[in-house]
Amino acid sequence: MSMKWKKFKKERISLNYTVMLLPHSQKKAIHFKTPVWTFGVAFLGLLVLTGACLFFAGSRHQLKQVQKEKELLEQEWEQLAEQKRLADEENKALKKEQELQEQELMALEQRTRNTLKELENLVERESQIRQELGLGQIAEDETEGKTEDEDSSEESENGENGTSADSQEDLSDSGDGARDALRADNGNGTVRIASADLPLVLAQNDANFTAIQAELGYLQSKLTEKTGQYDGYLNTIEEKKAAEAAEKARKEALRTSIVTNALQYVGNPYVYGGNNPNTGVDCSGFTKYILGNTAGVYLNRTAAEQSTQGRAVSAENARPGDLVFYSNGSTVNHVAIYIGDGRVVHASNERVGITTSNMYYRTPVKIVNMLGD
């Protein structure tokens, strides 16, 4: 029996190999044997090595994908921050331009009032000029002129004033020229303009009045234009304010949804490493699940990693939906969701599960706004 086993072991368990180091040489080929289990071990080792290489290659590829997504998110965040900064600058520029427009409008209104005042003064002056010209006394003046000529003739005939016949002839020759000349009444010193110059004076006054009316119309049109621009700026500012108010209301509603969604899981179990509050979850898995499913905010897996995200805020400025972090003295090891009124909801431990607590049941080391508002 032992002879047969040795023969079987010699023929079946060992494998023969022949290696020709130099195929075209005359040297003798090399023969050697190796057990089957040695070949199996080598093959298995090769499989394990190949699998390990594939696993590490896949992990590295996945890590690169995550890193790329993180870079894209950071770029988007920077773009949003830049857009917000530009919007703030544009809003400031609009406010400044609005102030300038208001100043221009006030100056234009003052100028319009001054123009109206000048127009009233011009109308009053025109009335005075008409009174001085005696537009209702022209016929009377001519009648007085004729009466004076007749009286002068009668006096010369009677010799009462000692006027010579030559003087009478000169006065009669002057005729209409005397009526058209500028005269002064010795009695009251009133200046009268000759009737020949009257149309020219009236035409000049009408031209001045027309020019002032044109200037007033231009000012009124500019006033209307500036008022339209001012109304446009007001509408733009109101639209921006309405958009900001709508965005603020949306953020507040989102924070309320986060709190409402988190509170519905109070009483569910705590499971270390768990990701679903319906079946069991730990503290960071709970915050990751709530903010991811309610607000679409991506969070890292552990509390320590989550504490490096978002924007830190003070306890006085904490709002519902912010994350509150706690530490064991050296590293962050717990996270909760702030729900307002100094309280938080969190996956506490295996004994109490998901529960609500006072925010200061432990000393918070950091409070973070993850929503970016």
pLDDT on residue 264:
97
pLDDT on residue 185:
44
Q: For 56-74, give one letter per residue: b (16+ CB within 10 A) or e.
A: eeeeeeeeeeeeeeeeeee
- For the chain, what's the residue count? 373
Residue-wise pLDDT tens digits, 179-199 = 443 444 444 444 444 455 656
Residue-wise pLDDT tens digits, 63-109 = 888 889 999 999 999 999 999 999 889 888 888 888 888 888 788 78
pLDDT more than 90, % of the chain? 35
**Tokens 């005042």 — which residue?**
117
pLDDT over 80 at 243, yes or no = yes
Residue-wise pLDDT tens digits, 316-357 = 999 999 999 999 989 999 999 999 999 999 999 999 999 999
pLDDT on residue 77:
92
Q: Are 268 and 287 in contact (CB under 8 A)?
A: no
Specify the higher pLDDT residue, 62 or 303: 303
* pLDDT, the chain, mean: 77
The radius of gyration computed from the CA coordinates of the chain, to the nearest angstrom, equals 54
Integer Cα distance of 52 and 284 in angstroms: 30
Burial class (CB in 10 A: 0-12, 13-18, 19+), 238: exposed
- Quickly state the pLDDT bin for 3 (edges 50, 70, 90): low
Residue-wise pLDDT tens digits, 278-287 = 999 999 999 9
Neighbours of 297 (CB within 10 A): 19
pLDDT on residue 30:
55
Mean pLDDT of all residues in 164-180: 42
Rounded to 5 degrees, what angle do the CA atoms 360, 365, 371 make?
95
The DSSP line for 32-66 is EEEEHHHHHHHHHHHHHHHHHHHHHHHHHHHHHHH
Specify the higher pLDDT residue, 14 or 297: 297
Nearest 10 degrees: CA dihedral of 246, 251, 256, 261? 120
Range 268-275 contact pairs with CB under 8 angstroms and sequence separation of 24 or more: 268/353, 268/354, 269/350, 269/353, 269/354, 270/347, 270/348, 270/349, 270/350, 270/351, 270/352, 270/353, 270/354, 271/350, 272/350
Structure tokens at 142: 């001519």
The alpha-helical segments, DSSP class H, found in the chain are 2-8, 36-133, 138-158, 165-174, 176-180, 198-263, 283-295, 303-306
